[in-house]
Amino acid sequence: MQSSQKEVHNKQLLFALIVAGTILGLAGTDLVLPAVPTLPDYITGTLSQAQLVLAAFTAGIALGLLVFGELGARYDKKLLLLGTLAAYSVTSLLCSLSETIPELVGYRILQGFFAAAPAVFAPGLIRVLFDDRAALRALGLMGSIESVVPALAPIAGAWLLNYLDWRASFFITAGLTFLLSIIWLFTPTLPTGSADQKTNVAKSGYLALLRSGTFLRYALSQAFTLGGLLIFVFGAPTVIIIGMNGSLNDFVIMQVIGITLFIIASNIAHSVVERFGPEWTIWFGSSMAAMGSVAILIYALFTPGQEPAMLWILFSFVNLGLGFRGPPGFYQAILASGDNDARGAALVILLVFTTTSIGTALLAPFITQGLLPLAATAAAVSVSSLIALFFLPPTATKEVGSATAT
């Protein structure tokens, strides 16, 4: 009995450490966000160069996803995670010591590169720790925790900027990631696959996943649903303030409602999967998200003088849909990647980044023209999730909901 309780405790501890790593990676952008406009007041550089501080971090993450997806398929994930957290701590410290903005931009590329590792390794580590049902619940909980980071981290960053200075967020990140790497150093060794499995995974690659219609079914549908939401979120402040004569408070209220509903849906998604199965849940969530996006598009097309308050209602369906389909969709992609889970996780996240970046870039020239261009872009991307589900084959392996609970 005591041994069983200790095993559960260790799993909970390891899960907490995994989530902490992904949170610190996410916070790398949001903590420094409030300081960006004032950076030229403190170190040598221009405001346009200061914007590259954000872009450099994102570029580093994109590169890191591919590299650590490959390394995670070949080497021990715990050792890689320990090393990358330590490197993330060092690069964060180097960022704080920068004397020019171009120097800071260079260090931010490295910081973003190492920040990508926890997100790549997390799904595979969760899959090792838990059975299918528990892993699905863990992914839902991790997603709900991570969804709060973009809302709270800028507030913490603003507080650090007001009471300390721009370097404080980097000092905090460096200290916390170093502490986390020390804790990982003393955690138990995680179970790994057989030698044959390791050999097969090492011989495989990203191309094998890109050739798998089943993997692409879940990876693309996940990227299109989440990408459609993020494109709308990124464009909403400008549209609400300039195109709809609203205020930043309208955007904040929309986000608070959306994040709350996402958290609720993602934490009950496992129950829906147990009752109806993962495929039904993924279709249901994707359809709800697409329906919300199309409803916003219809509202933009046929309603003159749109009210920001309507977005509070309509956009909530997009968040609910992502909450329901997010955990089973991501987990089915990991299952479809087989033992190649590190590369699979990296590709899913990279597809989300790519979808969001392309959609945001295509929308940029039209962002000041009101709600219609934003709604049309987000709806087109969100509906593409249903197209991927319709044309690409579902998994032929055991479904998520069929495992016995621990």
The CATH number of whichever domain residue 39 belongs to comes to: 1.20.1250.20
State pLDDT tens for residues 12-55. Answer: 888 888 888 888 887 887 788 778 778 888 888 887 778 777 77
Q: Give pLDDT, residue 200.
A: 53
* Co-location of 293 and 363 in the same domain: yes
* Co-location of 210 and 188 in the same domain: no
- Asked if residue 406 has pLDDT above 50, the reply is no
- Asked if residue 397 has pLDDT above 70, the reply is no
Q: Give pLDDT, residue 11.
A: 78
251 pLDDT band (50/70/90 cuts)?
Answer: confident
CA dihedral 260, 355, 386, 397 (to 10 degrees): -90
- Asked if residue 195 has pLDDT above 50, the reply is no
342 pLDDT band (50/70/90 cuts)?
Answer: confident
Q: Give pLDDT, residue 396.
A: 66
State pLDDT tens for residues 277-315. Answer: 999 999 999 999 999 999 999 999 998 888 999 999 999
Specify the higher pLDDT residue, 169 or 141. Answer: 169
* Phi-psi map region of 305: left, alpha, beta (phi>0 left; psi -120 to 50 alpha): left
- Asked if residue 194 has pLDDT above 60, the reply is no
349 occurs within a structural domain: yes
405 occurs within a structural domain: no
Residue 44, classed as helix, strand or coil, is strand
Between CA 352 and CA 228 the distance in angstroms is: 9
* Co-location of 238 and 168 in the same domain: no
State pLDDT tens for residues 166-190. Answer: 898 899 999 999 999 898 888 776 6
Q: Give pLDDT, residue 149.
A: 74
398 occurs within a structural domain: no
Mean pLDDT for the stretch of residues 334-360 = 83
* Tokens 């095993």 belong to residue: 7
* Co-location of 181 and 106 in the same domain: yes
Three-state secondary structure along the chain?
CHHHHHHHHHHHHHHHHHHHHHHHHHHHHHCCHHHHHHHHHCCECCHHHHHHHHHHHHHHHHHHHHHHHHHHHHCCHHHHHHHHHHHHHHHHHHHHCCCEHHHHHHHHHHHHHHHHHHHHHHHHHHHHHCCHHHHHHHHHHHHHHHHHHHHHHHHHHHHHHHHCCCCHHHHHHHHHHHHHHHHHHCCCCCCCCCHHHHHHHHHCCHHHHHCCHHHHHHHHHHHHHHHHHHHHHHHHHHHHHHHCCCCHHHHHHHHHHHHHHHHHHHHHHHHHHHHHCHHHHHHHHHHHHHHHHHHHHHHHHHCCCCCHHHHHHHHHHHHHHHHHHHHHHHHHHHHHCCCCHHHHHHHHHHHHHHHHHHHHHHHHHHHHHCHHHHHHHHHHHHHHHHHHHHHCCCCCCCCHHHCCCC
Q: Give pLDDT, residue 158.
A: 77
* Co-location of 279 and 347 in the same domain: yes
* Co-location of 135 and 263 in the same domain: no
Number of separate domains in the chain: 2
Burial class (CB in 10 A: 0-12, 13-18, 19+), 60: buried
State pLDDT tens for residues 100-127. Answer: 989 998 999 999 899 988 888 888 788 7
400 occurs within a structural domain: no
Between CA 376 and CA 382 the distance in angstroms is: 10
| Boundary (domain end) residue, out of 192, 219, 244 | 192
Q: Give pLDDT, residue 405.
A: 33
> Whole domain around residue 81: which residue ranges?
2-192
Q: Give pLDDT, residue 192.
A: 57
* Co-location of 112 and 235 in the same domain: no
* Co-location of 210 and 141 in the same domain: no
% of the chain surpassing 70 pLDDT:
90
198 occurs within a structural domain: no
Q: At what angle do helices 132-163 and 168-185 cross, to 10 degrees?
A: 150
Mean pLDDT for the stretch of residues 149-160 = 75
| Boundary (domain end) residue, out of 168, 192, 216 | 192
- Asked if residue 377 has pLDDT above 60, the reply is yes
Mean pLDDT value across the chain: 83
* Co-location of 44 and 159 in the same domain: yes
Per the CB < 8 A criterion, the answer to whether 204 and 330 are in contact is no
Q: Give pLDDT, residue 157.
A: 79
